[in-house]
Amino acid sequence: MGKMDIDPIDEDAAHDFMLEDEDFEDDGSEAARHLAEGRPIYYAEPETPAGLVIRESPDGSRVYVRLDGQGGLVVVGPV
């Protein structure tokens, strides 16, 4: 899929939520707090394609995204 959208992001915040199971254990409360505050969360699942992460929005929508190298995210397509 092509470039669909670029969102400016706080890269430190994005990296905090681009987590892999072996690097971080959580009961989900921190992610739920971010979603409840109206902020998306970023993570990968075992089946997430290489180079991509999942952005989950507070409304529950999920898309694959990648960093564009210029402080933004490119939406690649739906999960």
Domain extent for 69: 6-78
**Does the model's pTM come out above 0.85?**
no
- pLDDT score of 20: 44
- Residue 1: inside a domain: no
- pLDDT score of 18: 52
- Residue 44: inside a domain: yes
Q: And the tokens for 69?
A: 């190298």
- pLDDT score of 4: 40
- Give the count of domains, the chain: 1
29-71 residue pLDDT tens: 888 988 999 999 988 999 999 989 999 999 999 999 998 888 7
- Residue 34: inside a domain: yes
- Residue 15: inside a domain: yes
- Residue 56: inside a domain: yes
The 8-class DSSP code of residue 19 comes to B
- Residue 58: inside a domain: yes
Dihedral angle of Cα 20, 12, 48, 61, to the nearest 10 degrees: 120
